[in-house]
Amino acid sequence: MRLSYFLISLLGLGLMPTYSLGQRHTSSIPDSLVNYLQTAKQDTTYVRAANQYAWWLINPLGETNRADSLLKRTEVLAKRLNDPMGLQRVYYHQAWIWLRQPFKEQKKALPYLRKAYQIIQQAHLPPSERQRVLSSIGQLYHIDNQFELALKYFLTAIQLTERYKLREYVTRAYIGAGEVMEVTKRYAAAEHYYRKAYTIAYMDQDKAMIAWGESYLAYLLEHQGKYREALPHLQKALMFGTVYSTKAGRIHSMLDISHCYLKVDPVKAYNFLKKTEQYANEIQADPDIKLTISWVWVEYYTLKRQYVSVVVHLKKLIRYAKEENNVRDERDAVREMATVYAKMHQFDKAYHYHVQFSQLTDSLVSNQTVRKIQEIAEKHEIEKREAQIKLLNQQHQSDQFQRNTFLIGGILVLILGLLLGAWLLNRSRLHQLQEAHMLRQQIAHDLHDEVGSTLSSISMLSGHTDTLLRQNQAEQAQKTVQKVYADARQILESIDEIIWTVSPGNDSLHRIAMRLQEYAQPLMESKGIDFQCKISTSLDQFTVSMEVRRNLYLIGKEAINNLIKYSQATKASLVLEYGQDRLMVLLDDNGKGFDQTQLSHRTGQASMQQRANAIGGKLQVRSVLGQGTHIQLVVNT
């Protein structure tokens, strides 16, 4: 849905948290801060003022060098005064200095954000500070394409916002969650968070957030083809962005308007885009902004079918992407270049860029084919040079023989290349067919086990409902319909679990852990259980097979269900750790416990043990009446 080159990214509007909220970017406030900093006593109030002035230097003024110098002096003062609030904001603003740098430099912000978060935790600072830092960390992971990690931080920030009813600089987390949901193709969830962002932006004490909310509502309207309805929202975004945002943020708003005009009035689109490009040149915009402008020009000239101009801007785009180390945009630009040259019937150039695209997308079959053909071509060139030397030493050979030799060699290279490409392609297809066959068998087995019996039940109950209605037994018929509804919900959950199990994107241990947390959290909240979940960051580095993933998840799910149904606990914790080549899962509660010598079949422990044995794991259950239950699963990887 989103994340296209012409739309606003998380850093697109260049917004920062404000402390003097709702005020315009006039010079009076910075001047008053300067006067205060020159005369005031260096206490904690001075630290607050220095942080506020640093924000002005970073965001509306863009003077990051002066801000960095001021923050370094303020850091020394905050440490001397033992001022945790001031110190964590110093680190937070130092992080944003790096976030104002070109794309490839932005990762350097992460250590400062981690320092700020550590101070917030140790000093028990207000939830608003924690939310602000978590949103920024999520934004960094989003920039680095680590989408699941980004989503974790965004959702935690949203939980803090809704739990404590925060209203200062809270919109960004909703937008970040929406963008991650979109890039991972969870479109309904993405739209949900975008609409929430629009609503909460107008309640956010930082009025700069309104620009974000308006832009994303406009995006949703564009996605529905309602471009004329989207334009007023984009113009509002530009208005608020001009007042509260950086110059770069204003450019992104102008680009959004230009793109919308492409759909309704290409002439206005051209004029607005020229105006945007001129403004970007005036402020000497960074390569990432020039890259975005080039993308919109590409779309404009493609719409006009002026392919020569398209090529010019695509070449600029590729150069900017390389400067920013932005592989995704470079790959997309190379693909567009191949397409455009094909439309221009310049197939040699189209092939050249198609090969580059294959390399950038790391297509195994294409890359191996290209490498083999290149090796054969290089070998042929060596043989050709040796033949030329031999011909020079043996002058009795005729020119006709030389031409025949080159012709035969070229034909052989072509034939060998085609044969090699066909062989590699067939081998790849065979491997894919084998994998697809195994996957179909697994899905069929799971559907038969999980869904078949329930569907039969629904069929019989539906027929029974007709009988009850004919007999005027409305109350009994209603109960039967409720049973059909419950069975249908069970089928939906089963199918969702099957899809999740077979999806290759869920192979990491971290995804399993996140799935268990997402399953447990709402159940715990519904029972009023104080639930804590600790997931080791090292889990993301390790993957497991589909069978292991399925059994791990079902063991965890069964244990969580038992806790919810029988424990009567008020506190529970789930810990997933990885170390010494083994995964450890711990589930503890402070519930009523049970007598293990009188174990009920309802708890499903036999099934859990069977699943643990199937994956080479060891399951231990310890419970004492009145003291809760401890479940430990250890799986060697």
Q: Is the pLDDT higher at 72 or at 26?
A: 72
Torsions phi, psi for 468 (to 5 deg) = -65, -40
User: pLDDT digit string (tens) for 279-337?
Assistant: 888 888 777 788 888 888 998 999 889 999 989 989 988 888 888 777 778 888 888 98
Q: What is the pLDDT of residue 83?
A: 96
User: pLDDT digit string (tens) for 45-59?
Assistant: 999 999 999 988 887
Q: pLDDT band at residue 372, thresholds of 50, 70 and 90?
A: very low
Which residue, 614, 602, 605, is CA-closest to 587? Answer: 605
Q: What is the pLDDT of residue 429?
A: 75
- The mean pLDDT value for 191-200 works out to 93
Select the highest-mean-pLDDT range: 17-26, 383-392, 620-629.
620-629
User: pLDDT digit string (tens) for 206-247?
Assistant: 888 898 889 888 888 888 889 999 999 999 988 887 887 777
Amino acid at 423: W
Q: What is the pLDDT of residue 27?
A: 44
User: pLDDT digit string (tens) for 589-629?
Assistant: 999 988 877 765 555 788 889 888 988 899 999 988 888 99
Burial 361-383 (b: 16+ CB within 10 A, else e): eeeebbebbbebbeebeeebeee
Q: pLDDT band at residue 125, thresholds of 50, 70 and 90?
A: very high
Residue 173, CB half-sphere, CA atoms under 13 Å: how many?
26
Other Cβ atoms within 10 Å of 403 Cβ, number: 10
Is residue 344 classed exposed, middle or buried when 0-12, 13-18 and 19+ CB atoms within 10 A define those classes?
A: middle
Query: What structural domains and CATH numbers belong to the chain?
Result: 286-361 (1.25.40.10), 505-636 (3.30.565.10)
Q: For the chain, report the end-to-end CA distance as a whole number of angstroms.
A: 38
How far apart are alpha carbons 347 and 393 in whole angstroms?
A: 40
Other Cβ atoms within 10 Å of 63 Cβ, number: 14
Angle at the Cα of 318 from the Cα atoms of 315 and 323, rounded to 5 degrees: 130
Q: pLDDT band at residue 2, thresholds of 50, 70 and 90?
A: very low
